[in-house]
A and B are shown apart, each in its own frame.
Chain A
């Protein structure tokens, strides 16, 4: 899939660059992108796996070219490619089309109608600690364990913006598999995942036509949304392949689910209150049994501006996440408290530092992270990410990553 997509991107890219006539002014086409060097340093040997998971520095580099073309006054095309080379993890060396869509909009009697078609990225949600209800795009887990990176999702996306709110409808004709670190890579599983022998509950396999809707509106200082998703789960269950040769491998299995969710952001005199909640049916729990569940994450954000008479701002975030499956939950966020502080120095270099900690209420797990970013020049910026995983309890879903604390130093160049 990813190779086909990569070839498709290159094809579209070349045909657009070689045939500039169709948009006769170069103003209407814009090329840009980023190149980044992202070495990671792991100072402990992995708990499981091969020698390549031993301590040391692992180099990695990615390129992300972007193209924006304005085809008519109300129509544009956007293309974002992505390719990463990773020194140690063959499964992290890969390409993807992050975005490749046409967007067209026009006024109608009911309001403005926008149509998007192609590979797109849709974000649903409100909170900071994790993105519970964000389900349209598949997680690119091999990219980063924080689940913030997503694969491009094939879709037709209709948006009607009216006086009484924004109505959205999604047709999702193709399911993309979650990516995982490979057997040589860090932050991986203690067992081998065979993504070539994937299983689906739907008889149409990855071609099940998923649908989703969303309604959102602003009521004074409250932004609220209701969303629904009906189709193939983005989160797999792992089934052991007992028939295959040793070593034992596991195959991802994706069930059909229904998810309804709400998300809220309320601003009140210096406070931002945030909430996401969902009900999901049809998913398998940690034991592999079908279990419907309810989960939520909510909390506040409070900012101190111009700290001590300087231009420095500080924002405090506290969020509680809960999953009523508790110890049978498939995620880290079964009953956890997240506390973070973000300091923006508002200097020439746009320096920011974010420190966060995720505390388990049901076990003694603690995950810490420290992020630092700063511009070096107009085009170059540096970002550091320290992730501390060594305080993870044995019964935690993330226990296999206990020795995978790391420091990543990223150097990004924008062109």
Chain B
């Protein structure tokens, strides 16, 4: 996987050198390059197997008032299929014990089930609700799901410096009509295809939200994971800071830990 990634990296770097970067690009080339970057970014990220991590969200409104959410997330890669994700809600107290299971599907809506501890009930969620706010934050369910390559069409736009690195800026358009977005702009660095920024444009084409990503750390000598993500909503003036911590990789998790039966065992 790593070899493929570096191969793709070299190919795309060559492409950048050979193709004069400014005017000469035609539509086909920018589309191909956009897809290439997205695929490379996906490839360098895959192979971690599984991990658990802690998420703390700090929600801030226009007046600066804050509210906190705490959850544990468990993620499992499944070959030939999308990821399996389990969110275990811990704070605030009234949602403690609630769990959300997502079976991400490559090119169709995800399957989502909620576990409600008060009645020991597992209930299917309407996955057309991608635009629904995740725990009242500026992240939507759509934003929390892994962006599988097949869920978008791509176009490379330009190069731009980001932090101390050089970034490519690509546009991606969601395939799903149920998406809340008309398009997104994504900043990937050349070095390891890490995402540094995403701009989200709503269905009317207005700039709705910006995600900035920082504090990358490398795990298993290979995988880069960000510790800080800030989602700013330009329309309502609110923002949410998502802090990741306590990563544990390749723990004892398999597909049996992401079923409706295991969901009932989450508390």
Residues of chain A touching chain B, judged by Cβ–Cβ distance below 8 Å, are 32, 68, 73, 76, 78, 103, 105, 107, 111-112, 114, 121-123, 125, 148, 150, 159, 161, 166, 216, 218, 221, 223, 265, 267, 269-272, 301, 303, 305-306, 311, 313, 346-348, 350, 375, 378-379, 381, 412, 414
Contact with A along B245-267 (1 / 0, CB 8 A): 00000001000100111100101
- Residues B132 and A414 in contact, CB atoms below 8 Å apart: no
- Residues A272 and B124 in contact, CB atoms below 8 Å apart: yes
Q: How many B residues have CB within 8 A of the partner chain?
A: 38
- Residues B261 and A122 in contact, CB atoms below 8 Å apart: no
- The answer for the CA separation of A348 and B60 in the assembled complex, in Å, is 9
User: Which of B123, B130, B265 has a CB less than 8 Å from the CB of A105?
Assistant: B265
Which residues does chain A contribute within 8 Å of B130, judged by CB atoms? 305
- Residues A103 and B129 in contact, CB atoms below 8 Å apart: no
- Residues B121 and A123 in contact, CB atoms below 8 Å apart: yes
* CB-contacts of B92-130 with A (<8 A): 92-96, 111, 119-124, 126-130
Q: Could you list 25 examples of A-B contacts with CB < 8 Å?
A: A76-B265, A112-B256, A112-B261, A114-B265, A121-B119, A123-B121, A161-B259, A166-B259, A166-B261, A218-B111, A223-B260, A267-B124, A269-B128, A270-B128, A303-B126, A311-B236, A346-B136, A348-B59, A348-B67, A350-B92, A375-B94, A378-B93, A381-B93, A381-B94, A414-B93
Known A105-B265, A303-B126, A311-B236; further 20 A-B contacts with Cβ < 8 A? A68-B267, A112-B256, A112-B259, A114-B265, A125-B121, A150-B119, A166-B261, A218-B111, A223-B124, A265-B124, A272-B124, A303-B128, A306-B131, A311-B133, A313-B133, A348-B59, A350-B136, A375-B92, A381-B94, A414-B93
Which residues does chain A contribute within 8 Å of B256, judged by CB atoms? 107, 111-112, 161
User: Which of B93, B131, B262 has a CB less than 8 Å from the CB of A379?
Assistant: B93
Which residues does chain B contribute within 8 Å of A313, judged by CB atoms? 129, 132-133
- The answer for the CA separation of A350 and B38 in the assembled complex, in Å, is 36
- The answer for the CA separation of A23 and B93 in the assembled complex, in Å, is 25
Q: Which residue of A lies closest to B202 (CB)?
A: A309
Which residues does chain B contribute within 8 Å of A159, judged by CB atoms? 261
Q: B91 within 8 Å of A by Cβ? A: yes
- Residues B133 and A346 in contact, CB atoms below 8 Å apart: yes
- The answer for the CA separation of A78 and B117 in the assembled complex, in Å, is 12
Q: B45 within 8 Å of A by Cβ? A: no
Q: B207 within 8 Å of A by Cβ? A: no
User: Interface of chain B, helix or strand or loop or mixed?
Assistant: loop
- Residues A73 and B92 in contact, CB atoms below 8 Å apart: no
- Residues B131 and A378 in contact, CB atoms below 8 Å apart: no
**Do A378 and B128 form a contact, CB below 8 Å, given A218-B260, A346-B136?**
no
Smallest beta-carbon distance A338→chain B, Å: 17
Which residues does chain A contribute within 8 Å of B252, judged by CB atoms? 73
Q: Which residue of A lies closest to B91 (CB)?
A: A378
User: Which of A32, A78, A267, A305 has a CB less than 8 Å from the CB of B96?
Assistant: A32
- The answer for the CA separation of A125 and B95 in the assembled complex, in Å, is 22
User: Interface of chain A, helix or strand or loop or mixed?
Assistant: strand
- Residues B132 and A78 in contact, CB atoms below 8 Å apart: no
Contact with A along B122-149 (1 / 0, CB 8 A): 1110111111110010000000000000
Smallest beta-carbon distance B112→chain A, Å: 9
- The answer for the CA separation of A315 and B130 in the assembled complex, in Å, is 14
Smallest beta-carbon distance B264→chain A, Å: 9
Q: B68 within 8 Å of A by Cβ? A: yes
Smallest beta-carbon distance B262→chain A, Å: 8
Smallest beta-carbon distance A123→chain B, Å: 4
Which residues does chain A contribute within 8 Å of B178, judged by CB atoms? 270
User: Which of B96, B136, B261 has a CB less than 8 Å from the CB of A114?
Assistant: B261
Smallest beta-carbon distance B117→chain A, Å: 9
Smallest beta-carbon distance B32→chain A, Å: 32
User: Which of A125, A218, A348 has a CB less than 8 Å from the CB of B136?
Assistant: A348
- Residues A148 and B119 in contact, CB atoms below 8 Å apart: yes
- The answer for the CA separation of A181 and B267 in the assembled complex, in Å, is 31
Smallest beta-carbon distance A125→chain B, Å: 8
- The answer for the CA separation of A73 and B265 in the assembled complex, in Å, is 13
- Residues A123 and B128 in contact, CB atoms below 8 Å apart: no
- The answer for the CA separation of A269 and B128 in the assembled complex, in Å, is 6
Which residues does chain B contribute within 8 Å of A221, judged by CB atoms? 111
Smallest beta-carbon distance A221→chain B, Å: 7
**Do A267 and B127 form a contact, CB below 8 Å, given A123-B119, A348-B65?**
yes
- Residues B260 and A270 in contact, CB atoms below 8 Å apart: no
- Residues A305 and B94 in contact, CB atoms below 8 Å apart: no
- Residues A350 and B121 in contact, CB atoms below 8 Å apart: no
- Residues B92 and A378 in contact, CB atoms below 8 Å apart: yes
* CB-contacts of B123-181 with A (<8 A): 123-124, 126-133, 136, 178, 180
Q: Which residue of A lies closest to B208 (CB)?
A: A309
Which residues does chain B contribute within 8 Å of A301, judged by CB atoms? 126
